[in-house]
Amino acid sequence: MHHLPHQNKKALIIGSGIGGLSMAIILSKLGFGVTVIEKSRQPGGMLRSYIRRGIHCNVGLHYLGALDKGQLLRRLFDYLGITEKLPLTRMGVHGPVDRYYFTNAIDGPRQFDMPVGLDAYEAGLKETFPKEQSAIDGFMALLRQSAGQLDRLELLFRNQTPADLIDLTEPLWEILDRLGCSPGLKGVLSVPSVWIGIPPPLCPQFYHTMALASYLFSAWRLESNGAHLVNVLVQRLTDLGGRVLCGQAVQRIDVRGGDVTGLTLENGEQYDAQLVVGTAHPKVVVDLLGSNTIKPSYGRRITGLVNTDGMFAVNAVVPASIHKSLPYNVFSMKTDTGGVAHNVIYTQLRASGRPESLLLTLITRGHNELWRPWEKTCSGHRGDDYGAAKMALARGLIKKVEPFIGQLKGLEVIDTYTPLTIRDWVNSPDGSAYGVMRSDRQMLSASLLNRTAVKGLYLAGQSVMAPGILGTILGSLITTKFIVGSKRFEKEVQL
Ligand SMILES: Cc1cc2nc3c(=O)[nH]c(=O)nc-3n(C[C@H](O)[C@H](O)[C@H](O)COP(=O)(O)OP(=O)(O)OC[C@H]3O[C@@H](n4cnc5c(N)ncnc54)[C@H](O)[C@@H]3O)c2cc1C
């Protein structure tokens, strides 16, 4: 049995993504002696970029919202103590943050530019849909109200829990129908839901607001890369006395008499603690518990949760001498007759860190059906056919985005990844990109995932509250509130 450095209260955290590292820093600030256990050789989970041909390719970090002084994510980054270390560039200064292209505009525009600012967004909607002024007024009133609640962090500081957000759980689609929005307008409003993995008709208004409003507050790119952000977080944790152990997966969560007692790793090492926070997918954490440690009903609830789909991504380089980087993101998509966006392709063309090349990133739905033949294989051992199938899909996607960003001369694909890659990398069930789906259908079953049926065992990570860097850190704060109690939380956590 390893005994951790003497601290009054020890905490063990499973997983070192943004969920695990934010959880670790928060608990360290509150006086816990924290050890993070990560199965991969390097920390960071989906936040970590990987290197191909000397170029950092980001996975789960393309742009961030609400980082202006005093804004929501900035307050969270300030609390974590990392803002000063991050080279950030503001987006949307001389143009849009996002440019949407509709390939089959049904009674709507071919293009819509998403600017910074709620007022500018409203003006853009009204200019694009001049006949729908009152529907837009109704939608904006709701957006402003819930964006304000989010910004004031009412879910953390007004004794609200996600279950109390029931008023905000009405599907956005029902609201848009009530307001009489056209399919064209719905198409524009559906994009933020897709970006967090929720089919637009199932997206509760609250989650739509979180995905949309945070980027309307302000939008930013990290000039460095995901690995840099991970290093900053790990350094901060180390400065606070915590540590990250990499390269050993947790094999078992040890429980005695209904209380958590520690963790056993794959190599047999044991670590003891009365507080354990699992930040891997909830199903993965529950699978680490012995079968008689939890009630079957709790196990069934967790394993029955529907997850978001996986994603397919392409990273490629193009010569910087003949292409210009795009200061905005491009979303190209089809909409159906009801206005639901399908086959969305996210495109980013930006500096690569190497003067001669720009980095092109495309992200789209996982195309799970294509990878079934390799389901039982693991990363690095899938063979040439898999590589060829990925390349064929990549080439098709590149052709699809060229009409919008121009012909990509001299392009070389440097990497592609599928849901199987994500599955093997971070243990996400079926390669789910955003974990548990925050759809209106499972608002109740997916609420309050922070607590578990075992005393001393909590959950954090993107599945407990909302995905994205913002949603995941908020999830860590809610879990902290359960761990230390509302009174102490509100006294000691100043955001
Ligand atoms: C393609 C893509 C693009 C995205 N773009 C953005 C964006 O631009 N902006 C934004 O805000 N968000 C974005 N996101 C979402 C964001 O990246 C995620 O919500 C966030 O990174 C999830 O963090 P996490 O800590 O919950 O999970 P993870 O990063 O998956 O961390 C879980 C960790 O647990 C570890 N683990 C699992 N099992 C074990 C075990 N048994 N023992 C030890 N360790 C274990 C895993 O290895 C992993 O490191 C994107 C996501 C994807 C997939």
Closest by CA to 61, choosing from 242, 222, 207, 248, is 222
- Tell me the domain boundaries of the chain: 9-60+224-306+436-492, 114-216
Q: Is the CB of 400 inside a 6 Å radius of any atom of ligand 1?
A: no
* Largest interatomic CA distance in the chain: 70
Q: What does the alpha-carbon distance between residue 73 and residue 65 come to, in Å, rounded to a whole number?
A: 7
Give the ligand 1 atom nearest the CA of 47: 21
Distance 332 CA to ligand 1 centre (A): 25
Count of residues in the chain? 495
From 427, 428, 463, 464, mutation site for ligand 1 pocket: most ligand atoms within 8 A of C-beta: 427
pTM for the model:
0.96
Q: What does the alpha-carbon distance between residue 434 and residue 237 come to, in Å, rounded to a whole number?
A: 25
Q: What does the alpha-carbon distance between residue 53 and residue 412 come to, in Å, rounded to a whole number?
A: 11
Q: Tell me: the pLDDT tens digits for 365-384?
A: 999 999 999 999 999 999 99
Give the ligand 1 atom nearest the CA of 425: 47
Q: Is the CB of 280 inside a 6 Å radius of any atom of ligand 1?
A: yes
Q: What's the per-residue H, E or C state across the chain? A: CECCCCCCEEEEEECCCHHHHHHHHHHHHCCEEEEEEECCCCCCHHHCCEEECCEEECCCCCCEECCCCCCHHHHHHHHHCCHHHCCEEECCCCCCCEEEEECCCCCCCCEEEECCCHHHHHHHHHHHCHHHHHHHHHHHHHHHHHHHHHHCCHHHHCCCCHHHHHHHHCEHHHHHHHHCCCHHHHHHHHHHHHHCCCCHHHCEHHHHHHHHHHHHHCEEEECCCHHHHHHHHHHHHHHCCCEEEECCCEEEEEEECCEEEEEEECCCCEEECCEEEECCCHHHHHHCCCCCCCCHHHHHHHHCCCECCCEEEEEEEEECCCCCCCCCEEEEEEECCCCCEEEEEEEEEEECCCCCEEEEEEEEECCHHHHHHHCCCCCCCCCHHHHHHHHHHHHHHHHHHHHHHCCCCCCEEEEEECHHHHHHHHCCHHHCCCCECCCHHHCCCCCCCCECCCECEEECCCCCCCCHHHHHHHHHHHHHHHHHCHHHHHHHCCC
Proportion of the chain above pLDDT 90, given as a percent:
91
Q: Do residues 111 and 99 lie in contact, with contact meaning Cβ atoms separated by under 8 Å? A: yes
Q: What does the alpha-carbon distance between residue 55 and residue 45 come to, in Å, rounded to a whole number?
A: 18
Q: Is the CB of 48 inside a 6 Å radius of any atom of ligand 1?
A: no
Residue with CA nearest ligand 1 atom 34: 15
Give the ligand 1 atom nearest the CA of 462: 26
Distance 16 CA to ligand 1 centre (A): 9
CB count within 10 Å of CB 89 equals 14
Q: Is the CB of 315 inside a 6 Å radius of any atom of ligand 1?
A: no
Q: Is the CB of 365 inside a 6 Å radius of any atom of ligand 1?
A: no
Architecture of domain 9-60+224-306+436-492: 3-Layer(bba) Sandwich (3.50)
Q: What angle do CA 398, 188, 74 make, to 5 degrees?
A: 85
Q: What does the alpha-carbon distance between residue 463 and residue 483 come to, in Å, rounded to a whole number?
A: 18
Q: Do residues 176 and 413 lie in contact, with contact meaning Cβ atoms separated by under 8 Å? A: no
pLDDT at 448: 86
Tokens of 181: 């929005």
Q: What angle do CA 233, 238, 243 make, to 5 degrees?
A: 100
Distance 230 CA to ligand 1 centre (A): 12
Q: Is the CB of 39 inside a 6 Å radius of any atom of ligand 1?
A: yes
253-291 burial, b at 16+ Cβ within 10 Å, e below that, comes to bbbeeeebbbbebeeeeebebebbbbbbbbbbbbbbbee
Site of tokens 């974990």:
435
Q: Is the CB of 250 inside a 6 Å radius of any atom of ligand 1?
A: yes
Distance 66 CA to ligand 1 centre (A): 20
Residue with CA nearest ligand 1 atom 49: 45
482 CA to centre of own chain: 22
Q: Is the CB of 61 inside a 6 Å radius of any atom of ligand 1?
A: yes
Distance 231 CA to ligand 1 centre (A): 15
Give the ligand 1 atom nearest the CA of 428: 30
Q: What are the phi and psi torsion angles at 429 (to 5°)?
A: -55, 125
Distance 357 CA to ligand 1 centre (A): 27
Strands 243-246 and 32-38: parallel
Distance 106 CA to ligand 1 centre (A): 35
Strand order through the sheet with 219-222:
64-65, 219-222, 88-90
Q: Do residues 462 and 475 lie in contact, with contact meaning Cβ atoms separated by under 8 Å? A: yes
Distance 352 CA to ligand 1 centre (A): 22
pLDDT in 10s for each residue of the chain, 495 residues: 454 444 469 999 999 999 999 999 999 999 999 999 999 999 999 999 999 999 999 999 999 999 999 999 999 999 999 999 999 999 999 999 999 999 986 677 899 999 999 999 999 999 999 999 999 999 999 999 999 999 999 888 876 655 555 567 889 999 999 999 999 999 999 999 999 999 999 999 999 999 999 999 999 999 999 999 999 999 999 999 999 999 999 999 999 999 999 999 999 999 999 999 999 999 999 999 987 889 999 999 999 999 999 999 999 999 999 999 999 999 999 999 999 999 999 999 999 999 999 999 999 999 999 999 999 999 999 999 999 999 999 999 999 999 999 999 999 999 999 999 999 999 999 999 999 999 999 988 898 899 999 999 999 999 999 999 999 999 999 999 999 999 999 999 999
Q: Is the CB of 19 inside a 6 Å radius of any atom of ligand 1?
A: yes
